[in-house]
Protein backbone atom coordinates (compact mmCIF):
# COMPACT_ATOMS: atom_id res chain seq x y z
CA UNK A 1 0.00 0.00 0.00
CA UNK A 2 1.36 3.41 -0.94
CA UNK A 3 1.62 6.20 1.63
CA UNK A 4 -1.16 8.26 -0.01
CA UNK A 5 -3.51 5.25 -0.07
CA UNK A 6 -2.77 4.58 3.60
CA UNK A 7 -3.60 8.18 4.52
CA UNK A 8 -6.93 8.09 2.66
CA UNK A 9 -7.81 4.80 4.37
CA UNK A 10 -6.94 6.11 7.84
CA UNK A 11 -8.97 9.29 7.31
CA UNK A 12 -12.10 7.17 6.91
CA UNK A 13 -11.33 5.63 10.30
CA UNK A 14 -12.47 8.81 12.08
CA UNK A 15 -15.93 7.23 11.97
CA UNK A 16 -16.97 4.50 14.40
CA UNK A 17 -18.98 2.82 11.65
CA UNK A 18 -15.92 2.68 9.39
CA UNK A 19 -13.82 1.22 12.19
CA UNK A 20 -16.53 -1.41 12.84
CA UNK A 21 -16.25 -2.56 9.21
CA UNK A 22 -12.59 -3.51 9.71
CA UNK A 23 -13.42 -6.21 12.29
CA UNK A 24 -14.19 -8.99 9.83
CA UNK A 25 -13.06 -12.00 11.93
CA UNK A 26 -13.06 -10.56 15.45
CA UNK A 27 -12.90 -13.47 17.91
CA UNK A 28 -15.45 -12.02 20.37
CA UNK A 29 -19.21 -11.56 20.01
CA UNK A 30 -21.71 -8.96 21.20
CA UNK A 31 -22.13 -10.75 24.54
CA UNK A 32 -18.50 -10.00 25.37
CA UNK A 33 -17.34 -6.64 26.70
CA UNK A 34 -14.57 -6.72 24.11
CA UNK A 35 -16.98 -6.72 21.18
CA UNK A 36 -16.59 -5.03 17.82
CA UNK A 37 -18.76 -2.00 18.66
CA UNK A 38 -16.96 -1.29 21.95
CA UNK A 39 -13.59 -1.65 20.24
CA UNK A 40 -14.55 0.80 17.50
CA UNK A 41 -16.05 3.28 19.97
CA UNK A 42 -12.77 3.23 21.92
CA UNK A 43 -10.94 4.27 18.73
CA UNK A 44 -9.69 0.87 17.56
CA UNK A 45 -9.82 -0.73 14.15
CA UNK A 46 -8.71 -4.23 13.25
CA UNK A 47 -5.25 -4.76 11.78
CA UNK A 48 -5.49 -8.56 11.79
CA UNK A 49 -3.77 -10.30 8.92
CA UNK A 50 -4.62 -13.90 9.78
CA UNK A 51 -5.43 -16.39 12.53
CA UNK A 52 -2.21 -15.67 14.42
CA UNK A 53 -3.20 -12.07 15.12
CA UNK A 54 -7.00 -12.20 14.83
CA UNK A 55 -7.35 -9.85 17.79
CA UNK A 56 -4.81 -7.23 16.70
CA UNK A 57 -6.27 -3.72 16.84
CA UNK A 58 -4.85 -0.24 16.43
CA UNK A 59 -6.00 3.23 17.47
CA UNK A 60 -6.90 5.43 14.50
CA UNK A 61 -5.37 8.45 16.24
CA UNK A 62 -2.37 7.54 18.37
CA UNK A 63 -1.44 4.40 16.42
CA UNK A 64 -1.14 2.23 19.54
CA UNK A 65 -1.49 -1.40 18.50
CA UNK A 66 -2.70 -4.01 20.97
CA UNK A 67 -3.41 -7.72 20.83
CA UNK A 68 -4.01 -10.47 23.35
CA UNK A 69 -7.52 -9.23 24.11
CA UNK A 70 -9.70 -11.19 26.51
CA UNK A 71 -13.52 -11.41 26.20
CA UNK A 72 -14.12 -9.24 29.29
CA UNK A 73 -11.47 -6.59 28.55
CA UNK A 74 -12.82 -3.05 28.47
CA UNK A 75 -11.46 -1.43 25.29
CA UNK A 76 -11.54 2.09 26.79
CA UNK A 77 -9.67 0.98 29.92
CA UNK A 78 -7.08 -0.95 27.92
CA UNK A 79 -6.59 1.98 25.55
CA UNK A 80 -6.13 4.34 28.49
CA UNK A 81 -3.70 2.04 30.31
CA UNK A 82 -1.50 1.56 27.24
CA UNK A 83 -1.80 5.02 25.63
CA UNK A 84 -2.86 7.51 28.28
CA UNK A 85 -1.57 10.44 26.23
CA UNK A 86 -3.81 9.64 23.25
CA UNK A 87 -5.99 12.71 22.60
CA UNK A 88 -8.98 10.47 21.87
CA UNK A 89 -8.58 8.58 25.16
CA UNK A 90 -8.18 11.81 27.10
CA UNK A 91 -11.57 12.97 25.84
CA UNK A 92 -13.09 9.66 26.94
CA UNK A 93 -16.23 10.13 24.84
CA UNK A 94 -17.93 8.29 22.04
CA UNK A 95 -17.82 9.95 18.65
CA UNK A 96 -21.44 11.14 18.79
CA UNK A 97 -20.87 12.82 22.18
CA UNK A 98 -17.98 15.02 21.06
CA UNK A 99 -18.43 18.76 21.00
CA UNK A 100 -17.21 20.51 17.87
CA UNK A 101 -14.18 21.89 19.72
CA UNK A 102 -13.31 18.38 20.93
CA UNK A 103 -13.68 16.91 17.46
CA UNK A 104 -11.44 19.63 16.10
CA UNK A 105 -8.82 18.86 18.75
CA UNK A 106 -8.86 15.20 17.63
CA UNK A 107 -8.51 16.28 13.99
CA UNK A 108 -5.66 18.61 14.94
CA UNK A 109 -3.84 15.81 16.78
CA UNK A 110 -4.42 13.47 13.85
CA UNK A 111 -2.88 16.03 11.49
CA UNK A 112 0.12 16.50 13.80
CA UNK A 113 0.61 12.73 13.99
CA UNK A 114 0.26 12.45 10.21
CA UNK A 115 2.86 15.17 9.62
CA UNK A 116 5.26 13.60 12.13
CA UNK A 117 4.90 10.22 10.45
CA UNK A 118 5.42 11.76 7.01
CA UNK A 119 8.46 13.64 8.34
CA UNK A 120 9.96 10.40 9.69
CA UNK A 121 9.36 8.63 6.38
CA UNK A 122 10.99 11.43 4.39
CA UNK A 123 13.91 11.60 6.84
CA UNK A 124 14.47 7.86 6.55
CA UNK A 125 14.35 8.00 2.75
CA UNK A 126 16.75 10.95 2.72
CA UNK A 127 19.14 9.17 5.11
CA UNK A 128 19.10 6.08 2.88
CA UNK A 129 19.76 8.18 -0.22
CA UNK A 130 22.63 9.98 1.54
CA UNK A 131 24.19 6.64 2.51
CA UNK A 132 23.92 5.47 -1.08
CA UNK A 133 25.55 8.64 -2.41
CA UNK A 134 28.26 8.39 0.26
CA UNK A 135 29.04 4.79 -0.76
CA UNK A 136 29.22 5.82 -4.41
CA UNK A 137 31.56 8.69 -3.59
CA UNK A 138 33.84 6.45 -1.53
CA UNK A 139 34.19 4.07 -4.48
CA UNK A 140 35.51 6.87 -6.72
Domain, as residue range, for 67 = 3-139
- Count: domains in the chain: 1
User: 35 or 7, which is more confident?
Assistant: 35
Q: What is the pLDDT of residue 23?
A: 95
Residue 138 clears pLDDT 90, i.e. is over it:
no
In order of 23, 64, 117, 128, the CA distances from 56 in angstroms are 10, 11, 21, 31
- CA angle (101 as vertex; 97, 104 as ends), nearest 5: 95
- Residue 56 sits in a domain of what CATH number? 1.10.1170.10
**Mean pLDDT value of segment 82-91:** 92
Q: What is the pLDDT of residues 99-133, one digit of tens each?
A: 999 989 888 888 888 898 899 999 999 999 999 99
Amino acid sequence: MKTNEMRVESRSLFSVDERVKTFKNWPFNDKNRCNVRNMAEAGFYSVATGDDDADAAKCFLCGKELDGWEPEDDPWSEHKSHASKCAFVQLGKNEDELLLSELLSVVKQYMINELNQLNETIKSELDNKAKSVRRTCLKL
